[in-house]
Structure 1
Amino acid sequence: MDDKPKVAPYGKWESPITAELLSGQSIRFQGLQANNSTRKIYITESRPSEGGRSCIEEHTDGKVRDLLPPQYSAASKVHEYGGAAVTIRPDGKLIFQDARTSGVFLLDQETADIAPIIQAKASFRYADFSINPTAPQWILAVGEDHSTDPIENLVVAINSDTGEVFKVRRGADFYQDPQFSPDGTRICWIEWNHPHMPWRETVLFTADWKAPTIENAIQHTKEGGVESICQPRWGFDGALFFASDRTGYWQLYRLSPGAREPQYIHLEGLEDGDFGSRQGYLGVTTFIALSATKLLATFNKNGTSHLMLVDANTEKHQELPLGLVAIEAEAIRRMSDTEFIIRGSTLTEPDAIYLVDIGDPENKRLIKRSADTQIPRLSISEAQHINFPRTVGEYREGSANAFFIPPKNPNFQGPAGAKPPLIMYMHGGPIAHITPGLALSRQYWTSRGFAYVCVNHAGSTGYGRAYRDELYGSWGILDVNDAVSCVSYLVSEGLIDPKRVGIVGESAGGYAVLQALTTHPDVWAGGVSLYGVSDLKGLITGTHKFESHFVQELVLQKDMTEEEQEQVYKARSARFHADKIKAPLLLLQGDADTVVPEEQTRVMEDVMKKQGRKVKVVIFEGEGHGFRKKESIALAIKMEEEWWEETLLLSAQ
């Protein structure tokens, strides 16, 4: 039998990864809870096969139960991006926000009864719940009131016995992480104001809990400086742990009981990495108190996660060899002093949830994968971190980063002397990052013979505050220049065909696609923008509260006149420069998107047609900012594949 790989053109290889696998046989994890006494695990997941409904599964000793009837969806829309829609009471019952009614409900898993805690109001949203351990009728939450103008965000206390809702903290533009202390006598929370985002500048508060209100609120902030504080988490002794980037990286701090000033937990050798993360949605949990002295903390360096076991008293630490390179979102829950639940992906395994014992971390027990189908190991192409010089634009200081994934398929090889086409992915955010964790959506392309690269351009998280801050004032310029520098680097290394380069991105990444096509038109053979921004000024007036000042921060300089501001908005909006675009452009958009409204895509379509440029638009009915339905995901994959077939494969022939 001849096992030699078949020679076939790059991009034309047969792959075991199908659109059906990505759309119908995969789920997206949204939340994670653990009951320490019963050892039951609760997973909140979005299922494309059910129209993107957010379901809750119970896992007990290998047995799995679906808990939510089909009329419920356990998801939040606070800040539009949501998160933290489910929590667990001391008695094991679950509390969740229903996305369809905005009601808050109590779920009794034993009887399957679901009872409203408060009367649902479509105009009032809840999320980020915390139960008082000693008086569990009291629930802290982030509230978002859409009946007022402007929309009001606040911290509320819900009495689950009476259904009353009390306003505990208000006045700031945003809140997150309201948390009761272990003895129920104190609370903490984070707040911030426009024009900042949570990764830019936040403030940590603690206060005494005097039901149904608070007293003696104390602010804990670096004197005379600006910092981003995230993930306040109570320890067993009443100390409060959190991450702050006051050193230039999100490092760990401890606020001892009764203290005003926090202590830096100095972990030698880990000073130049992040223990915190972008708080773009609620409920992010990448470190926890495991026992009275031990912390589990995710350390991120160069966009790659490492799980550390930290002794908060001695500051000694060790990495747990789990192989997880992407640990994000609501990712870690305590099971006991020596066990925990964790969500993450490896270089060769997709997003999954595991039970881990710190005494034997390598033998982590799989609870659930995000995709049921196993992909042959030999078909998987591992992401490689690359750091490349900035060779494009006026600003060429330092370097930029990306994860490169070469084409790989054990059954095929490219023709002698040929180079593969490249698909470049620009992440959303734009203050976010791509990890090297296995993503089947990328393997879909590499197993077909495409090279794939995910650019962690200026502004990306995972590389410290200075790298994040580089993008402020330069969005639409520096991120795009980094992308073009990446293409130049890959060409110089002989890894890709420079005549067959496509660029794709979602949201802010879609904006980068449009900017790249207009400012560097000769680099690209094709472009795909998913709900991307084409008009910055239009986005400012049409977007939601959470990001309503974000664009100004990203593109404007201080003390600009109104005329200068208008010039910048126009200069960095692709709708005014469609005449420069040479590559065919595919635009994919949901008609229910409240973050980047449909008008942003329609206006780009119109100007492209007026300029005689090739453009195609597909509108997805009922989809918002990110496609959740099985049919939508499958169609988006199909449309993108046809686009690359035409622009990167057929055109080259």
Structure 2
Amino acid sequence: MVTIAPYGTWTSPIGAADAAAAGGGPHWVDLHRGVPWWAEGRPAEGGRVALVRDGHDLLPPPWNVRNRVHEYGGRPWVVLDTPDGTRVAFTDWGDQRIHLFDPDDPRPRPITAEPERHHGLRYADLTAGPDHTEVWCVRETVTGDARTDVRRDLVAVPLDGSPARVLAASHHFMTGPRVSPDGRRLAWIGWDHPRMPWDGSELCVAEIGSDTHRVLAGGPDEAVCQVEWEGDDLLVLTDPDGWWNLFRIGLDGTAVNLAPCREELGGPMWRLGNRWFAAIDRGRYAVLRSGAPAVLDERSGTVTDIDVDLPVWHAHLAVHDGVLVSSAAGPRTEAAVVSLDLSTGELTEHTRPGAPLPAEYLPVPVERVVTGPGGDVPAHIYPPTNPDFAAPDGEEPPYVVHVHGGPTGRSAPVLDAEIAYLTSRGIGVVAVDYGGSTGYGRAFRERLREQWGVVDVADCAAVARALAEEGTADGDRLAIRGGSAGGWTAAASMTTVTTYRCAMIAFPILDLRGWTGEGGETHDFESRYVEGLVGPWPATADRYAERSPSHRVEHLAGPVLLLQGLEDEICPPDQADRFAAALDGTGVPHAYLTFEGEQHGFRRAATIVAALEAELSFYGQVLGFTPADVPVLELRR
């Protein structure tokens, strides 16, 4: 029997604990001798990252296979075939050192020195050196007390624990150390402030041991995002024509686009070590076409989609003997480690099965394109979905606009347990790919250049208004939510437009001046990002003040819920602290929840549960319904 009840009051078998359990998932998938390996987040284990070989954990708690390079981290492990047998090198979160162990007798020992300063040396993008007796990687060295006091080198770390040696130090930021098959040359990617890697980066090549290098591709307005050797040539994902395509580049700089297309086959380097393509054989490559698996055939110059049940794959591609492995997800399927036999089409899931969420309560995202002030705005709509309930006749559902982070990110039409937690209770969600999102070419990304806080706000509002005007959503019960850069857009929206009744703002940017190198309130990687998003500093300082939500508290359109991790080095608590303090006494209902032990993005099960239940209670109090089975969040004024 279907129960008639107002939207937002429905009960659901999908609890906050279920969403928390789904909050980890696999990443950094790879193959060794045909066997899949991966790292896996464990919210129930304090958010640690486990290392898994073909479904079996290799390291017990408290080992945490993760690192702090760029604060977002990078590929944290590599398998080596050493003269003494198979060994695994990995970075541990606790001390940030590289450790080594035998996978059949896992007793890790550190092979890098203990730094004088806590986390003073950090390593990422681990790969095997030419003879597998060294780990080649990126090393960060903290050189002072400011968050921007960081130096980077590409280094070779001997497995015997002797001192590392520097391979290259060409740019302020570097990644992707790749040795040529003959062991003579090193290739890597580098870039400098104020550019971000998706704005402009360079492909560098040098003779090993040489202090000089050549730039073969990239530049101020071309972004290289992956490089691999193929004989004496290089396979390179880069975007000289405005789209990340796959090129073969010779040592003389000659470049050939293997399959020209107005498609994104690469992505932004938020984390170091992603792999958007992998060679199947000479002339055939597994690629990701805007996240979907495909085969690029050089001979025909085509990119052909692979028909699979899980349509969204992540940038961890590896191929062995015609079998492709990565992690993948679908509209009703959480991310799983999968392998695909390219000759037979057989798909195998390797992730240990957990308790699946009931399919009938899961929303199937609907793709839409809305016309915004600056052009088309793609979005994915997740409607209220619960077979046990229906709303009273004539009631339209409340809707939440979900803003992805980045802002150089994108939404994907896959199962998101946090979204299902809301939709199964009668609250619709729409995820917006506002101007600046990736997956749509450089021109779409650059819509946001010097327009952050304008274009993103306008595009999200255009989608929300379109849903209200067509009757999909209740125009008087619209909310907005986001974390990090999404938190910025949510806060900026609440202080510049009147579209929304309220906002959930998690680990946000709220004061743009603090995000300049001079402001000193963020980490080195993004310390000059805002110069491209807002304008040159300090020449456009007035613009920074005008757009910052922290300077516009008196314009706030409605209540806000702030969520913040207290160990966040990307968006430290300082700005959220000041914003919450400024709200006290204004009469605007608000709440500010902080979480010990959490960094940027929540990883611990208890935190995820508390945050989701607080968010649901918050929406109920503001939008006029009483949610079932959650504690009442106390709002201050």
Question: Which category of TM-score, normalised to the shorter sequence, fits these structures?
Answer: over 0.9
Taking the aligned partners of 2:385 and 2:19, their CA distance within structure 1 comes to: 18
**In 1, are the aligned partners of 2:218 and 2:238 still within 8 Å (CA)?**
no
Give the residue type in structure 2 aligned to 1:264: N
Of 198-207 and 153-162, more deviation after overlay is shown by 153-162
**In 2, are the aligned partners of 1:155 and 1:178 still within 8 Å (CA)?**
yes
Taking the aligned partners of 1:341 and 1:575, their CA distance within structure 2 comes to: 45
Of 567-576 and 286-295, more deviation after overlay is shown by 286-295
Give the residue type in structure 1 aligned to 2:76: A
Alpha carbons of structure 1 residues 100 and 347: separation in structure 2 relative to 1, 3 Å: same
Alpha carbons of structure 1 residues 372 and 58: separation in structure 2 relative to 1, 3 Å: same
Taking the aligned partners of 1:208 and 1:625, their CA distance within structure 2 comes to: 38
Of 627-636 and 148-157, more deviation after overlay is shown by 148-157
What is the aligned partner in structure 2 of residue 7 from structure 1?
A: 4
What is the aligned partner in structure 2 of residue 533 from structure 1?
A: 509
**In 2, are the aligned partners of 1:325 and 1:435 still within 8 Å (CA)?**
no
Give 2:120's match in structure 1, choosing from 119, 123, 140: 123
Give the residue type in structure 1 aligned to 2:265: F
Taking the aligned partners of 1:594 and 1:278, their CA distance within structure 2 comes to: 21
Alpha carbons of structure 1 residues 146 and 222: separation in structure 2 relative to 1, 3 Å: closer
Give the alignment of 1:76-91 within 5 angstroms.
Answer: 76-90=67-81, 91=85
**In 1, are the aligned partners of 2:278 and 2:285 still within 8 Å (CA)?**
yes
Alpha carbons of structure 1 residues 324 and 206: separation in structure 2 relative to 1, 3 Å: farther
Of 341-350 and 502-511, more deviation after overlay is shown by 341-350
Residue 645 of structure 1: how far off its partner (Å): 1.4
Match status 1:461 vs 2:438: yes
**In 1, are the aligned partners of 2:10 and 2:426 still within 8 Å (CA)?**
yes
Give the residue type in structure 1 aligned to 2:47: G
What is the aligned partner in structure 1 of residue 349 from structure 2?
A: 366
Match status 1:101 vs 2:129: no
Alpha carbons of structure 1 residues 26 and 573: separation in structure 2 relative to 1, 3 Å: closer
Give the residue type in structure 1 aligned to 2:253: R
Residue 360 of structure 1: how far off its partner (Å): 2.3
Match status 1:444 vs 2:428: no
Give the alignment of 1:156-195 within 5 angstroms.
Answer: 156-195=155-194
What is the aligned partner in structure 2 of residue 22 from structure 1?
A: 19
What is the aligned partner in structure 1 of residue 59 from structure 2?
A: 68
CA offsets 1:253-300 (integer angstroms, 9 cap, x no match)? 0124x4422211124xxx221001011111111211122332100011
Give the residue type in structure 2 aligned to 1:364: L
Of 104-113 and 507-516, more deviation after overlay is shown by 104-113
Taking the aligned partners of 1:50 and 1:110, their CA distance within structure 2 comes to: 23
Q: Which secondary structure does the structure 2 equivalent of 1:515 belong to?
A: helix
Taking the aligned partners of 2:137 and 2:56, their CA distance within structure 1 comes to: 27
**In 1, are the aligned partners of 2:202 and 2:218 still within 8 Å (CA)?**
no
Residue 496 of structure 1: how far off its partner (Å): 0.5
What is the aligned partner in structure 1 of residue 468 from structure 2?
A: 491
CA offsets 1:339-380 (integer angstroms, 9 cap, x no match)? 12121111221111111100222x3111116x7121233222
Give 2:265's match in structure 1, choosing from 267, 275, 279: 275
Residue 458 of structure 1: how far off its partner (Å): 0.8
Taking the aligned partners of 1:200 and 1:634, their CA distance within structure 2 comes to: 37
Taking the aligned partners of 1:120 and 1:97, their CA distance within structure 2 comes to: 13
What is the aligned partner in structure 1 of residue 327 from structure 2?
A: 343
Q: Which secondary structure does the structure 2 equivalent of 1:470 belong to?
A: helix
Match status 1:641 vs 2:632: no
Taking the aligned partners of 1:232 and 1:535, their CA distance within structure 2 comes to: 36
What is the aligned partner in structure 2 of residue 623 from structure 1?
A: 598
Give 2:295's match in structure 1, choosing from 302, 306, 309: 309
**In 1, are the aligned partners of 2:136 and 2:177 still within 8 Å (CA)?**
yes
**In 1, are the aligned partners of 2:571 and 2:600 still within 8 Å (CA)?**
yes
What is the aligned partner in structure 2 of residue 49 from structure 1?
A: 44
**In 1, are the aligned partners of 2:30 and 2:326 still within 8 Å (CA)?**
no
Give 1:389's match in structure 2, choosing from 371, 392, 408: 371
**In 2, are the aligned partners of 1:22 and 1:441 still within 8 Å (CA)?**
yes
Taking the aligned partners of 1:125 and 1:100, their CA distance within structure 2 comes to: 11
Match status 1:513 vs 2:485: no
Taking the aligned partners of 1:81 and 1:34, their CA distance within structure 2 comes to: 23
Taking the aligned partners of 2:480 and 2:393, their CA distance within structure 1 comes to: 26
Give the residue type in structure 1 aligned to 2:32: N
**In 1, are the aligned partners of 2:477 and 2:623 still within 8 Å (CA)?**
yes
Supply the RMSD in Å over aligned alpha carbons.
Answer: 2.0
CA offsets 1:494-513 (integer angstroms, 9 cap, x no match)? 10000111111001111111
Alpha carbons of structure 1 residues 317 and 534: separation in structure 2 relative to 1, 3 Å: closer
Residue 66 of structure 1: how far off its partner (Å): 1.6
Give 2:360's match in structure 1, choosing from 356, 366, 378: 378
Taking the aligned partners of 1:404 and 1:92, their CA distance within structure 2 comes to: 47
**In 1, are the aligned partners of 2:275 and 2:317 still within 8 Å (CA)?**
yes
What is the aligned partner in structure 2 of residue 233 from structure 1?
A: 228
What is the aligned partner in structure 2 of residue 393 from structure 1?
A: none
Taking the aligned partners of 1:44 and 1:450, their CA distance within structure 2 comes to: 33
Give the alignment of 1:213-228 within 5 angstroms.
Answer: 213-214=209-210, 217-221=213-217, 226-228=221-223
Of 455-464 and 436-445, more deviation after overlay is shown by 436-445
**In 2, are the aligned partners of 1:155 and 1:168 still within 8 Å (CA)?**
yes
Give the residue type in structure 1 aligned to 2:49: S
Residue 249 of structure 1: how far off its partner (Å): 0.9
Residue 118 of structure 1: how far off its partner (Å): 2.1
What is the aligned partner in structure 2 of residue 570 from structure 1?
A: 545
What is the aligned partner in structure 1 of residue 283 from structure 2?
A: 293
Residue 610 of structure 1: how far off its partner (Å): 4.0
Q: Which secondary structure does the structure 2 equivalent of 1:345 belong to?
A: strand
TM-score, normalised to structure 2, is 0.93
Residue 147 of structure 1: how far off its partner (Å): 3.0
What is the aligned partner in structure 1 of residue 196 from structure 2?
A: 197
What is the aligned partner in structure 1 of residue 106 from structure 2?
A: 112
Match status 1:145 vs 2:141: yes
What is the aligned partner in structure 1 of residue 317 from structure 2?
A: 332
Of 534-543 and 416-425, more deviation after overlay is shown by 534-543
**In 2, are the aligned partners of 1:102 and 1:120 still within 8 Å (CA)?**
no
Alpha carbons of structure 1 residues 376 and 238: separation in structure 2 relative to 1, 3 Å: farther
Residue 180 of structure 1: how far off its partner (Å): 1.9
Give the residue type in structure 2 aligned to 1:383: P
Residue 238 of structure 1: how far off its partner (Å): 4.1
Unpaired stretches in structure 1, ≥5 consecutive residues: 391-395
Residue 471 of structure 1: how far off its partner (Å): 0.4
Higher RCO (CA-CA < 8 Å; seq separation 6+): 2
Give the residue type in structure 2 aligned to 1:531: F
Taking the aligned partners of 1:442 and 1:234, their CA distance within structure 2 comes to: 41
**In 2, are the aligned partners of 1:30 and 1:83 still within 8 Å (CA)?**
no
Taking the aligned partners of 1:418 and 1:78, their CA distance within structure 2 comes to: 49
Residue 247 of structure 1: how far off its partner (Å): 0.9
Residue 17 of structure 1: how far off its partner (Å): 1.2
Give the alignment of 1:232-271 within 5 angstroms.
Answer: 232-235=227-230, 237-256=231-250, 258-267=251-260, 271=261
Q: Which secondary structure does the structure 1 equivalent of 2:213 belong to?
A: strand
Q: Which secondary structure does the structure 1 equivalent of 2:356 belong to?
A: coil
Taking the aligned partners of 1:523 and 1:222, their CA distance within structure 2 comes to: 41
Unpaired stretches in structure 2, ≥5 consecutive residues: 628-637
Taking the aligned partners of 2:558 and 2:265, their CA distance within structure 1 comes to: 41
Taking the aligned partners of 1:316 and 1:612, their CA distance within structure 2 comes to: 60
**In 1, are the aligned partners of 2:8 and 2:626 still within 8 Å (CA)?**
no
- Aligned pair count reads 615
Residue 151 of structure 1: how far off its partner (Å): 1.1
